[in-house]
Each structure stands twice: as C-alpha cells, then as structure tokens.
Amino acid sequence: MLAGSALSQADTLRLATHHLPPYQVVNGDALSGSMIDVMQCSLIELGQPYQVDVRPINRAFKELQAGLFDGVFVLNRTAERDQLAIASEPLIVTYRSLFSVQKIDTEVHSPEMKGLKIGVLHGSAMHRWLSKHEYPNIHTRYDYHILFELLQLERIDAIVAPHEIYAHEQSHGHVTRNIETRHLSQANLSSYFSAEWLEQRPDFLQRFNAALDVCR
C-alpha cells in the first residue's frame, strides 16, 4: 500500500490500482510507474491525503461500486464504466494496438479476424469488447508479459494492448522476435471516482483535472 500524508481517515482518498507495467508496477509493498507518479503528483498538488491498494482490475472496479474504494486507476474509459462511476480527464492518451508475429491486414470483426487467437488482459475493456462482439478465441492472462511470451512462441496469433505495454516489454529485452504493430484506435486511460466521493466534494474533480494538467 502506498499512502500520502494523512489528516484523518475520513479525509483520505481510498484508491485501488492494478499491476500494469509501465503504468503501475508492484514490487513487494512498493509501487512505482508512470501513472503512479502522475496520481501522486496530482494529489500532492491538491493537498489530498490518499492511500493506494492493489487489486486485480475486475475486483478493483467491483469494490469501487461496493463503496470499499473511492477511486480506481488507470482504466480505459468506456460507456459501460461511465454509467457506474465518474471518469477524470485522461491520465494518458495512447493507442490501442494489435501486435502479431505475422502481419495482419484483415478487417476488424471479419470472419478472418474472429478466427485468430487473440490475447488480452483478463478483465480489461478490450476483453469485454471482444466478448461483446463474439470473438470465439480469446486468450486472457493477468499479465501482458505472459501474453507476449505466448505470442513469440506462436501459441496465440495476436495481442491487443496499449502501445506503451509493448514498448515496456521491448525495452526490458523481453521481445526477441520482430513484432508487427497495427494501431486500432485511440484509448483514453483515466481514473474513475465514486459518485459518493464526488457528491461530498463538489469541486474535487475540477481541481483534480486541473492538477493533471500540471503533472502529466
């Protein structure tokens, strides 16, 4: 758990995050990563006490809905999530990309694309998106590192992930084969806050978004 300066328990923003290098990196009890830095900077800018706990992505959002947390980060912004919590401005704007050993030019949702074995992070927005569009060969893991290992062993045909995930794997020497990259769409990765937290602090989201402009 990472904690900022605390005033009282009632004032403390209870946050959940998930292991997602290079955005959030869990190493024992220590948290690091680019989005940890952005969140920490923004909350210090506000003078907002906080604590961060680590959960799997699905569990984190369910516990936000249950009132166990006041916020979760980072999550791809979706219409489904927008009905359940309130999103901040993006902490980062990235590309959702398709990574493969063999070049893939087939149209999204085509029979050829649906015939591929596609790897995604378990519980992610892309996992739900592929399921919604009835892709039959979805391979999920809780860690992108394992997915890139499977891709290079050709046990799966492709991975859908934010571009920074691939860059992180590559920079750490985990990519030993030539990987084809195809950008699919822009992805806004945000922090979500509970309606209850924001109702009690009407100016919080505006101030938090302004702090993001300083810290991103």
Q: What average pLDDT does this structure show over 14-33?
A: 94
Task: Specify burial of residue 83 (Cβ count, 10 A radius: 0-12, 13-18, 19+).
Answer: exposed
Question: 216: helix, coil or strand?
Answer: coil
* pLDDT score of 47: 96
- β-strands 13-17, 71-76 pairing: parallel
List, for residues 169-192, the tens digit of each pLDDT value: 999 999 999 999 999 999 999 999
CA–CA separation, 74 and 39 (whole Å): 10
Q: Where are the alpha helices (DSSP H) in 47-138?
A: 57-65, 79-82, 111-114, 125-132
Give me the amino acid identity at 117: K
Superfamily of domain 2-92+189-215: Periplasmic binding protein-like II (3.40.190.10)
Question: Domain spans of the chain?
Answer: 2-92+189-215, 93-187
* CATH assignment of 93-187, among 3.30.70.120, 3.40.190.10, 3.30.310.50, 3.40.50.720: 3.40.190.10
Question: 23: helix, coil or strand?
Answer: coil
Q: What average pLDDT does this structure show over 37-48?
A: 97
CA 188 to chain centre: 10
Q: What average pLDDT does this structure show over 54-75?
A: 95
pLDDT higher than threshold 50 for residue 6: no
pLDDT higher than threshold 50 for residue 63: yes
CA–CA separation, 1 and 16 (whole Å): 9
Count other C-beta atoms under 10 Å from residue 92's C-beta: 17
Q: What average pLDDT does this structure show over 24-45?
A: 95
- What percent of the chain is modeled with pLDDT above 90? 92
pLDDT higher than threshold 90 for residue 159: yes
- 36 near 17, Cβ under 8 Å? yes
List, for residues 86-126, the tens digit of each pLDDT value: 999 999 999 999 999 999 999 999 999 999 999 999 999 89
Tell me, yes or no, if the two domains 2-92+189-215 and 93-187 fold the same way: yes
